[in-house]
Amino acid sequence: MTGSVWRAENVHVSFGTTPRSRALDGVDLEIRSGEIVALVGESGSGKTTLARVITGLQAPTTGQVLLDGEPLGTGQRALRAYRRRTQLILQDPLGALNPRHTVYESVAEGIRLHGLAASDPEGRSEAELVAAALSSAGLRPPERLFLRYPHELSGGQRQRVLIAGSLALSPELLIADEPVSSLDASIRGEILALLLRLRETLGLGVLVVTHDLGLAWNIADRVAVMYLGRIVESGSTEEVLQRPQHPYTRALLSVVPEIEGMEQTILTGEIPDPARIPPGCRFHPRCPALERGEASAAGVDEACRTQDPRLLPLPLPGHAAACHLAQVRAGAATGTATESGRTS
Ligand code: SF4
């Protein structure tokens, strides 16, 4: 499928004064129309900041976001046009919907802001555009919901109204921040099925921001795992979740109930303050492979403490990891030299 390509290139976002808090510390990520990418990590990993940067709501301190090779404009008009194509769906539908607005008003807001009824190629009225968006979000018959208020809806219906508000603008990329974290298990499945259907029927790209690797397993084509402002592992969902190479990914996966056969690893400590990123590998103070002696057996323990590993391709299809041990193991498996750590 041909379509649009969003690319975050070496994005840094820092806050505050010395020491600066490095919320994003050199992130590259690509998303294409028609694919679902899961951005996974614990709270504090920087994934929501990255989502806001890709949506154009947060300017990078350095680095850039490109759409089809063109940098995001900075003027109001350019940003408004970009945000119409790139829609963020917030994680708390009750908080995101105005309690005094009916469903109709909530969905019509964006249509009015962008003057879409006047320019609709099929000549549809505002009410027809609202109805079409609600239908696409699975709320049928849409007219029955027009006059309802958020408190009169179920959690799943509220999430669908938020999605309808985005769909009303005919976006090409949806960025869904923890889209099902506030929902019951049965409704979660319905919302995930809706995102999959929107990808199939409208060719939308979807970036799902989540702390839950199980959710990524159910829905995503590709996975990017974030830790403390960096992507530490990325690849196709099958590759990353069936052959995780980074100890952080392994630890996250080991506690997903749906994934069997992995020894459970409970990570110790909290994710560090992004104003005090540890030297060497930023994950090293919590790394189970370092703690268990696997890194020293491979001869990379010193590198773990002193050298910041880069996200490098592994000799596995489309798979990359920022880990000295993963690079040495992958090099040993194929008998090649690696850039980080020792040669095999
Ligand atoms: Fe662990 Fe070392 Fe890999 Fe970092 S580089 S994740 S400390 S093994």
Per-residue pLDDT at 336: 54
Measured in angstroms, how far is the CA atom of residue 325 from the centroid of ligand 1?
A: 6
Measured in angstroms, how far is the CA atom of residue 289 from the centroid of ligand 1?
A: 7
Question: Which residue minimizes the CA distance to atom 8 of ligand 1?
Answer: 325
Q: What stretches in the chain show pLDDT beneath 70?
A: 1-2, 332-344
pTM assigned to the model = 0.92
Measured in angstroms, how far is the CA atom of residue 303 from the centroid of ligand 1?
A: 9
Q: Compute CA distances 344 → 1, 191, 246, 314, 338, whole Å.
A: 40, 47, 18, 14, 8
Cα of 56 vs its chain's centroid, Å: 14
> Which atom belonging to ligand 1 lies closest to the Cα atom of 282?
4
Per-residue pLDDT at 344: 31
210 with 45: CB under 8 angstroms?
no
Q: Which residues have any ligand 1 atom within 6 Å of their CB?
A: 246-247, 281, 283-284, 287, 289-290, 295, 300, 304, 309, 323-325
Per-residue pLDDT at 335: 58
Beta strands in 74-123 (DSSP E): 86-89
Question: Which residue minimizes the CA distance to atom 2 of ligand 1?
Answer: 304
Per-residue pLDDT at 2: 66
Backbone angles phi, psi at 39, to 5 degrees: -105, 110
